[in-house]
Structure 1
């Protein structure tokens, strides 16, 4: 604690005593002149944080041994999310990217001893959330849709990407040797790690539930698994390659601090200190008797941070306090089991707090009301565990509260409801900067039908249910979609009957496609599977199959082709396909009513596939198995090779029939295989 000046008339001995007492208290209790926002980081005698106290987001440092607080950055732009190790501080900084409101960020390194700073993220990208340890810095680089783990060596001044392609990393932990993070590349939140000495990435979890909050110490990785409404803590030891479950019981467990063999866990509404080697735990309690905002373990000390100040004490004292509370039933084990949520502003905003502190934080959590901070990732689950909302950092421009409700099943002719209607409500009038992902599972539900007919529907008031499925995971029986605000959704199967396909080869395909509202029949109840399909009809079913957001491509009331007037029944679909570059027409015409040939259909499909799919590793077919491959037009050859390699198109009797007009059943089959390859069915 920094010592205030005393009147000069004080005796020298008393003055010396007061100064000495101030230094002693500095190791036990720390207060901050510049209010920390978000988390703090500490190492040795150093504490760092970000604050808006000066009217700008800057980095601050406090030396516990002297009580001296220093403002490290003075740039007019945004500096945030610092970390500290020995005499180095790192942070993210957007001083070179100020065109957008929040901008992209670089990583800066500051030497406390010399006072020198430099940018260390020397490659293109959006670099955020740095962590420093053992002369190395790791962070997440958001570039081209991937979120990669970057590693910088301070001594060698080298930078490298250590995560594999298509990583979706966040929540990084680092101990100088092992990097661990949460990765969403597979659709679920899994834990990945990278061993610096071995130069090997390893996936530690494979979708048991959502795995979150990794911590690393001494080559051991711990994390939390949310499964069947209960969260437990697991550990992976890099030395022996074993994964161990550290907690049991019906209470939720979350790791918050890890050092050497000691792991601090929130268990229900109390704290437990776990020895990860013996898998034994003992109660531990903070001086205030509450769950802290943050806690740190360092040797034989525990550091408590309540959002305002810090207290350091011996672990044995905190354990004795916990044992005393547990053995004294008259003393509450935790008078304030959950801290009241305090919204944290996002660096780049214009105020130090984006909303007021909740006055009923504990009650709101019990009722399912969740605080979503603008600068954090968040996962919200419905009461029955079937529905999940995943919100990534930066989705909102300020902190919000979201609640999931369960309504009655949707009832309407032709629909089989599999789940309740889930309704989620965003309370605040916040700007949604990027979509949220919702997912609903049909696990443990008996289904006497083709599961590929299942759709995730948006349920709108006084409107027909709208299919919004974006991806399907048949391993976890989960369907997911993106949404842009409050809404309602459910899993259902739609059954559409036709009177002329019962014995047709495409029966199952047509029924499945119709269940997704992609293709319709005629007023007389027929489908006419062998009737030729027009070019306009094919474009219509392609656009319908992708659940394209109505706001994504808005018609500009101008004719795209001279033979497609604005009042043409399929003009909107043709316009969207043209704007996306999937169709081009002929000399200003589209010939919407002409039959679509098989090679035309494949060419349109493959342009859409290349635009949408993230799978670029498939092999093309050389078409050697088809005796009529020479009939393929030169402009369609590459598309036919790719489609055959993906099994989207299949011939008959060693013929691929590129010039043949496509029948409605053939178009339905091709769309069916296409959606399978996209993971949407």
Structure 2
């Protein structure tokens, strides 16, 4: 059976229940090693479907191939944070071997006859470009996000493309090149060994020489370590090498074993590698900790196993219901320094930073660049001392709630309040966070009065790997992951949005364990949700604005805040807080939240801009708002229309709230 057929076979199964949960494997001591090392893991299921074929994952993006409406195979990118999907190809030509690195996707595209072109798509800009300047039978493009390499199997000519200069160049003879961090490792054309090309110098050097009857199979490279399948006659083994220490030579990751079934590819991250190996006739997922050449088992043999990627310290494999499952690897070394292999260590502190800031403003940054504080021009009228220093002493131990995880160090900011807010940014290590967790990060302030961490907010800047917000109060701050989930949303289509909003304190569950996603949403509940999303604070005036929402009603403070902000109006006397909110009512409030009510009031002929078949069901007063909400993509219709008078459920409201926050730049 061919590799292609085996891949198709294993891509159509579901993962066995025995693979789930937290497992523990003890690593057998290596020769000459005295320390006891063990590997355990923690699984995180996701609602992200395993769709199509040729799946690749880099950071928070997944690339895959699937058929379009006309049955033609196209390539798609899924944002694993927002769970949105974008088609990146539309042509009739065949496409194969997509690869992704950073925000750059590359693939082969049929050009006629024996020719295949190499194409690239930049996720951040949406630009598509053909990368090869001359025609050829090109194959196996790989990218690290800036550089792209490929080769011609007919003459073994290799090429390197720089996405910054947008120039391609020939770099010699070889096959299966892999590029990372300014270096290219490839199988040389002399003896099937490995060679290294350094981009900065243009120099090539041999890395590994092989004897007759030896060859190199699957190969991967992360800029420091190369890992490959080493074939010896009818046997094979997996081998690694530290490219920065060539004198150390190759190190075996497993002994030679007879060839049986060959599984495709090797996945690699900064410190781990993983591959699929035959285990009693079934595919098992094996792993290696590269700095120590330690091997372990990620998943025992099962026909359901599929390995898609390594993201930081997590193997991305097939989960229940054909969804992605992140299996985080935790290495524990029992030495005089227990826990030195933890992936969850909080960064150590830099020393105190302080400076005098005057009318021209200024900037403070810690030595480790974890914290940056910008004081804009005009904030102070005289020289003022601003300080950033470790704040651990101000916080009592055990202060984090069970679902909170400290992501940054704890910092104390000392400054006088001025004419403007100060811009605070706290960086995070993306390699220690799963993509689905990143949007749950927030900046918290320690409240000395209550002895608890208080959520302040923060915009997650994924590319910059930091969370930023304007602060007006001196105090103790930290970056915290509040990892909230609910039992009844696992695998739900709105799981991602609900969990992010709950982690940002925008929505609450009906209980600690249940969210009730299909329950009808009331007008009061949506007012609270919208107010929380916009950062409003509860307002409790002495007299109520509505006859049916007085101080005894649970939503009193939120309804009053929404009313004062111009988000709700009621009927002039009553708000009907416990009535179900209709979709058109929700859209009106969303448009007001975007400060587009004046535009809505100026729209005269709404029928011309309402494409929905049920537009006749929309209340006349609501039509302009519905038109703007649809234009802003806050809501979507279906083949039957926009359903204006239907009630909204909690899951639908969470989804539109997520879109609102993204449009208002608050996530």
Q: TM-score range by the shorter chain?
A: 0.3 to 0.5
TM-score (norm 2): 0.43
The TM-score with structure 1 as length reference comes to 0.42
Quick one: higher RCO (CA 8 Å, sep 6+), 1 or 2?
2
Q: Which has the higher strand share?
A: 2
